[in-house]
């Protein structure tokens, strides 16, 4: 019985010593927070709000697709390439679109020539020809008038019959009508263009120009250009593959982003949202980098709670908890892979 009592006392004393040792280690390093469980980030720990997050570029991921469906003629970049704004990253097969631009441009030139013709009127040669016709008709009319007047005098003298006089009178009337016709034709050729003719030609030209702009716009859509200076993060398609512009099923060709500054999109648990403010210091850690801390600050706090963004494979993870998206901007110089899952800690003090 005495031996059992001594043995029990020894066990109790050993457990007490172990507990004191663990407590002492905890007291010597109180600032080191335990790892964050992505499933249950929990309330603030020692003045820190903890939550899981993912690394992303300051521009967020930009997925570039084509506004037109077709086959890729060329994808000019590879993953990791630096790119600049306006650079052509990929190009669709576009021979047919180029031909449409050429056809529309030719139509514009034709309509411009038509408008100039309307504005300028007849050529000098046409004006000269019309004037010559007037002069010739004038000479014929004058000659017919002289003959008619001479026949009038002969009729009055009783030398010719009335029928002969009337025949020469008819010839004069015909010559007079022909002269009037030539005068009106010359006036038409020599006059300025009518307002309605000019308006019609101008409208026709504007329509052709609009068709040219439409053809050029479609042709430009065959080139996929970068909207920012950044880096190619992912290449989804290669030369010769077909792409679609379906709005229901996104089909990006490339994913790009600006990695000059990195951000972490943190899932802050709904129980901690009152402790997070813009400007608070924060740091993140990742299993791949051991105990290394990457510091930054909170630059944006969401306005609406939503479902979790970062999930784990833990069977005990609670998926019914709501989170508030919070952006932590890391200090310049931080180098982390895009999409890396990290544990974020925000100083709530």
Three-state SS at 52: strand
Residue range 254-284, pLDDT digits in tens: 999 999 999 999 999 888 888 999 999 999 9
Contact 271/265 with Cβ under 8 angstroms? no
For the residues of 115-182, what is the DSSP string, one character each?
HHHHHH-S-HHHHHHHHHHHHHHHHHHHHHHHHHHHHHHHHHTTSS-HHHHHHHHHHHHHHHHHHHHH
Cα–Cα distance for residue pair 114/109, rounded to 1 Å: 9
**Could you give the percent of the chain with pLDDT greater than 90?**
46
> Which pLDDT value is given to residue 30?
43
Residue 243 dihedral angles phi and psi, to the nearest 5°: -125, 155
Of 59, 81, 82, which is closest to residue 262 (Cα–Cα)?
Answer: 59
> Which pLDDT value is given to residue 9?
59
- Say how many C-beta atoms besides its own lie within 10 A of residue 301's C-beta: 17
Helix, strand, coil % (nearest 5) of the chain?
Answer: 45, 25, 35
* Length of the chain counted residue by residue: 349
pLDDT at 211 over 90: yes
Q: Report the CATH architecture of 65-93+222-255.
A: Beta Barrel (2.40)
Residue range 73-122, pLDDT digits in tens: 999 999 999 999 999 999 999 999 999 999 999 999 999 998 887 777 65
Cα–Cα distance for residue pair 88/223, rounded to 1 Å: 6
Q: Domains of the chain: which residue ranges?
A: 32-58+259-347, 65-93+222-255, 103-216
For residues 17-27, give the mean pLDDT. Answer: 51
How do strand 48-57 and strand 242-243 relate by DSSP bridges?
A: unpaired
Which homologous superfamily does the CATH classification assign to the domain defined by 32-58+259-347? Efflux pump adaptor protein, beta barrel domain (2.40.30.170)
Topology match between the domains 32-58+259-347 and 65-93+222-255: no
Three-state SS at 214: helix
């Amino acid at each position: 019985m005495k031996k059992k009592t001594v043995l029990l006392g020894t066990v109790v004393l050993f457990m007490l010593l172990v507990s004191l040792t663990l407590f002492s280690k905890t007291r010597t390093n109180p600032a080191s927070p335990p790892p964050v469980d992505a499933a249950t980030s929990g309330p603030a720990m020692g003045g820190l709000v903890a939550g899981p997050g993912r690394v992303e570029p300051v521009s967020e991921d930009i997925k570039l697709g084509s506004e037109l469906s077709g086959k890729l003629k060329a994808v000019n970049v590879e993953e990791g390439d630096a790119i600049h704004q306006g650079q052509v990253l990929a190009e669709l097969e576009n021979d047919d679109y180029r031909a449409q631009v050429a056809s529309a441009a030719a139509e514009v030139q034709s309509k411009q020539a038509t408008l100039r013709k309307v504005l300028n009127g007849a050529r000098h040669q046409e004006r000269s020809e019309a004037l010559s016709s007037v002069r010739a008709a004038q000479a014929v009319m004058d000659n017919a008038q002289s003959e008619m007047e001479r026949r009038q005098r002969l009729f009055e003298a009783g030398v010719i019959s009335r029928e002969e006089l009337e025949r020469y009178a008819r010839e004069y009337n015909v010559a007079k009508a022909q002269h009037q016709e030539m005068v009106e034709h010359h006036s038409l050729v020599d006059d300025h263009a009518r307002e309605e003719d000019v308006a019609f030609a101008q409208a026709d030209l504007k329509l052709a120009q609009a068709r040219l702009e439409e053809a050029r716009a479609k042709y430009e859509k065959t080139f996929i250009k970068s909207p920012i200076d950044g880096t190619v993060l992912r290449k989804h398609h290669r030369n010769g593959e077909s792409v679609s512009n379906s709005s229901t099923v996104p089909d990006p060709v490339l994913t790009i982003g600006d990695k000059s500054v990195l951000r972490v999109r943190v899932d802050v648990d709904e129980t901690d949202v009152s402790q997070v403010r813009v400007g608070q210091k924060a740091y993140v850690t990742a299993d791949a980098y051991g105990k290394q801390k990457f510091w930054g600050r909170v630059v944006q706090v969401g306005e609406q709670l939503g479902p979790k963004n970062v999930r784990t494979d833990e069977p005990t993870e609670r998926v019914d908890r709501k989170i508030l998206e919070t952006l932590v901007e890391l200090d310049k110089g931080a180098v982390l892979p895009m999409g890396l899952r990290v544990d974020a800690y925000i100083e709530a003090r």
